[in-house]
Amino acid sequence: MKYFQSTVLSNIQLTDDIFVVQVVRHGAPVSAGQFFMLKCWDKELTLMRPISVYQATEETLSFMYRVVGEGTRRLSQLQKGDAISLLGGLGNGYPLDQLHGHIAVVGGGVGIPPLSLTARMLQAQGETVDAYLGYRDQLFAIEAFEPYCRDIFVSSEHGPEGYRGFITDLLKAEQYDAVLTCGPEVMMRKVAQLCAEKQVTCWCSMEHRMACGIGACLGCSIPTSEGMKRVCKDGPIFLSTHLFQEV
C-alpha cells in the first residue's frame, strides 16, 4: 500500500452515469479484487472514496465508477493532466492461489468492472473463466471480459439486448469449482445461496462506507461468523459462508 499523487491520463464517459478514469500507477502494488481510496479535492470534501481497480498495466491504473453523489461527481469532472491522490492497493483481494479449474465471476452494476482484472489474472494462471454480467439498463465493460473468458452471459432488467431479468437466473453454480461475486448485496446473497445449494465455494466482495481505508478507524466493520471484520483490511473479499447466516 502506498499514498501518492498521480496524474489523470483520461476520464471517459461510458453511459449516462458510468465513467472510467485512467491514472499513472507510480509503482503502486495491485492484486485482483483490491481497491484504492481516491480523492481529487483538497479541503472541499473530508473523506477519500473507495473504488475498485478495473484494469492495471505496468504504468497505469483504471477505475470504473458510477456517479452517485458529490465525490464521484467531482471524479467525473477530471480531465487529462489533472492531479489525483491515491491510497492503495487496499484490502485482501481474491485468494488466487486457492482458485483453480472452472471459475465463474458474477457481477452486478458497478460490481462488474473489478471482475475484469480478476478474470484476466485467473486466465493468466491457466484457469477457465465464465462471466455473468447483470445490468439495470445500459451495458458497459463487456469488452473488458472478452479476452479472458470462455463464455459471457449478459442480463439486464430493462436493457436493449441479452436476457431480460436477473443474472442469477442464468447461473448454474454446479458447473464451477468456485464462484466470485461483486455487486449489490441482494444479488450476492442470491449467488451465495445458489452456491451453497450445490456446495460450491463462493467469494463475495463487500462494500461499506469507509473513512481511513487501511484498517485503523473501524468505520467499516461488519459482523461475520468469524467476529467483527473490517471490510477495508480483512476484506473486501469474504467467503459467503462467513457473511450470510442463511447460506
Partner 1 sequence: MANLQTTVNGITFKNPIIAASGTFGFGEEYNQLFDVNCLGGISSKGLTLKPKDGNLGIRVYETPSGMMNSVGLQNPGIEAFIEHYIPVMRQWDTVLIANMGGHSMDDYVTGAEMLSRADIDMLELNISCPNVKSGGMAFGIKADVAAEVVTAVRKVCRKPLIVKLSPNAENIVEMAQACEAAGADSLSLVNTFQAMAIDIHRRKPIFNNVYAGLSGAAIRPIALRMVHSVAKAVQIPVIGLGGITSAEDVLAFMMAGASAVQIGTVNFTTPDAGKIIVEELNALCEREHIENIQDVVGVI
Ligand X SMILES: Cc1cc2nc3c(=O)[nH]c(=O)nc-3n(C[C@H](O)[C@H](O)[C@H](O)COP(=O)(O)O)c2cc1C
Residue type, 93: G
Q: Which residue is closest to ligand FES by CB?
A: 232
| 124 scored as a contact of ligand FAD (CB under 6 A) | no
Distance CA(224)–CA(243), nearest Å, equals 5
Output the smallest distance, CB 168 to partner 1, in A: 25
Q: Which residue in the set 59, 216, 225, 226 belongs to the binding site for partner 1 (CB under 8 A)? A: 216
Size of the site for ligand FES (CB under 6 A): 13
Residues linked to residue 180 through DSSP beta bridges, in sequence order: 105, 203
Please list every residue from 197 through 216 that binds ligand FES, using CB under 6 A: 210-213, 215-216
Q: Which residue in the set 41, 219, 222, 241 belongs to the binding site for ligand FES (CB under 6 A)? A: 219
| 43 scored as a contact of partner 1 (CB under 8 A) | yes
**Closest to 150 (Cα-Cα) out of 162, 170, 132:** 132
**Closest to 128 (Cα-Cα) out of 177, 195, 163:** 177
Which positions lie near ligand X, rule CB under 6 A?
211, 217, 219
Please list every residue from 100 through 119 that binds ligand FAD, using CB under 6 A: 110, 113-114
Distance CA(75)–CA(40), nearest Å, equals 7
Residue 14: count of CB within 10 angstroms of its CB? 15
Output the smallest distance, CB 218 to ligand X, in A: 7
Cell 484498517 sits at which residue? 215
**Closest to 174 (Cα-Cα) out of 146, 190, 194, 152:** 194
Distance CA(180)–CA(124), nearest Å, equals 16
Output the smallest distance, CB 169 to partner 1, in A: 28
Binding residues for partner 1, per CB under 8 A? 1-3, 37, 39, 43, 45-48, 71, 87, 209-212, 214-221, 223, 227-228, 233
Binding residues for ligand FES, per CB under 6 A? 210-213, 215-220, 230, 232-233
